[in-house]
């Protein structure tokens, strides 16, 4: 079942905030843009990760190294705050411990995978996929 238009970027923000990310940093926005980019590419994961920093850097008129560093900073902030139980709950997985900080690419791909089960894009709008309860 599908309901109306949903802002997927708000869902990404909510997840990142629950994990302890700070929205006042550029890396917060870069992670959001990266996740949306991955979701729009419909499974071309290997080729996407090779150019994701370049794509986000061009969209923001930044250097690739600055984008990568800003994203790494946000992920480090999340991990240093030690809310691993919340992180695992947000991802729907129990694979992370305090010492298992993922790479930028791993973080983006896990978050994208989670959201790919919640949303789809029809070329114009994002739509929420409602779970089929009892079916």
**What's the distance, CA 24 to chain centroid?**
16
Asked whether the predicted pLDDT for residue 54 surpasses 60, the reply is yes
Instruction: Look up the domain containing 49 and give its range.
Output: 2-129
Give residue-wise pLDDT tens across range 65-93.
Answer: 999 999 999 999 988 886 778 887 877 77
Cross-strand pairs, 2: 129
What is the C-alpha to C-alpha distance for residues 134 and 33, in angstroms, rounded to an integer?
Answer: 34
* Coil, helix or strand at residue 118: coil
Q: Tens of pLDDT along 6-35? A: 578 888 999 999 889 989 999 999 999 999
Tally Cβ neighbours within 10 Å of residue 121: 13
CATH label of the domain that carries residue 108: 1.10.10.10
Of 112, 107, 131, 134, give the one whose Cα is nearest residue 40. 112
**What is the sign, positive or negative, of the torsion defined by CA atoms of 124, 23, 102, 71?**
positive
Domain count, the chain: 1
On whether residue 135 sits in a domain, the answer given is: no
Global pTM? 0.82
Quick one: how far is CA 126 from the chain centroid?
15
Q: Is residue 112 part of a domain?
A: yes
């Amino acid at each position: 079942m599908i309901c109306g238009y949903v802002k997927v970027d708000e869902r990404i923000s909510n997840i990142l905030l629950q994990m302890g990310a700070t929205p006042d940093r550029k890396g917060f926005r870069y992670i959001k843009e990266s996740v949306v980019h991955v979701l729009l590419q419909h499974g071309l994961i290997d080729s996407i990760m090779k150019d994701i920093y370049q794509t986000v850097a061009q969209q923001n008129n930044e250097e690739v190294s600055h984008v990568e560093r800003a994203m790494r900073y946000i992920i480090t902030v999340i991990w240093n705050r030690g809310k691993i139980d919340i992180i695992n709950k947000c991802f729907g997985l129990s694979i992370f411990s305090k010492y298992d900080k993922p790479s930028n690419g791993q973080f983006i791909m896990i978050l994208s995978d989670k959201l790919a089960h919640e949303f789809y894009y029809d070329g114009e709008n994002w739509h929420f996929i409602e779970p089929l309860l009892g079916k």
